[in-house]
Amino acid sequence: MVTRPVALVTGGARRLGRAIALELAAAGWDIALHHHTSDPSDTVAALQAVGARAQAFAADLADEAACAALLPAVAAAMSRVDAVVNNASLFEYDNAESFSYAAMERHWRANTAPAVLLARALHQHLLARDGATGCVVNLLDQKLVNPNPDYLSYTLSKAALDAATTLLAQALAPTLRVCGVAPGVTLQSGDLMDTATFEQAHRLTPLQRSSTAADIARAVRFLLESPAITGTTLLVDGGQHLMAQPRDVVFLAGKKD
């Protein structure tokens, strides 16, 4: 019997991860829904309602042992894993003046290292399945193309993940493709952004609208379904990367320091 492919979506219980999981489920994927502190029950029920096999898996990805154990646990429970979407992310404000080793380490452990471990684990799992192939999609950020010095530790961690996307695509081919999606202003996030600021920031693009969660979910699905694409990143941001911005949009949209 042919079974549906399985995608592990990290941080999948809410927000952007939930949108990605639902998009993939509707397209014929079963979903391993990673979560840490969020309650996954509503999202699991929504995935099952559209016909997907869905199961939640709890792990603190900043803990190396817990992260390393995640994909084998998914494979044991769901019989196969075909893709990983590295969506879980830490987004805390700092700048050059407030930067610290501790802030950098928190972002590295949340945003960069887990994606490398999960790609390696998926590659090993696919090799054991006699010729199976798969894909990793890393969630990046348009500000890597259009940099500004706000959110310094976060940006450095995403820059490292961008480099890892290229390096892993080289190292793990032909068994595993590794791609990226770089959103613009997609959902209200961080302590500095209120609803009015988000709405204004969302319009600060050439298209006068940035990405939505649905836009990002469709881009992830496209990459998973495109067997000739690896080592590249889709910018899905309404053209935000085309506009030079000296500060993060939360400040350009009128929010003060």
The CA distance from 232 to 173, in Å, is 13
Catalytic residue among 93, 101, 151, 154: 154
**Residues whose CB is less than 8 angstroms from the CB of residue 90 and which lie 6 or more positions away in sequence, other chains included:** 106, 107, 110, 111, 154, 157
- Cα angle: 96, vertex 164, 139; to 5 degrees: 75
Span between the terminal Cα atoms of the chain, in Å: 58
> For this structure, is 93 an active site residue?
no
**Residues whose CB is less than 8 angstroms from the CB of residue 37 and which lie 6 or more positions away in sequence, other chains included:** none
The CA distance from 177 to 175, in Å, is 7
The residues assigned a catalytic role are 154
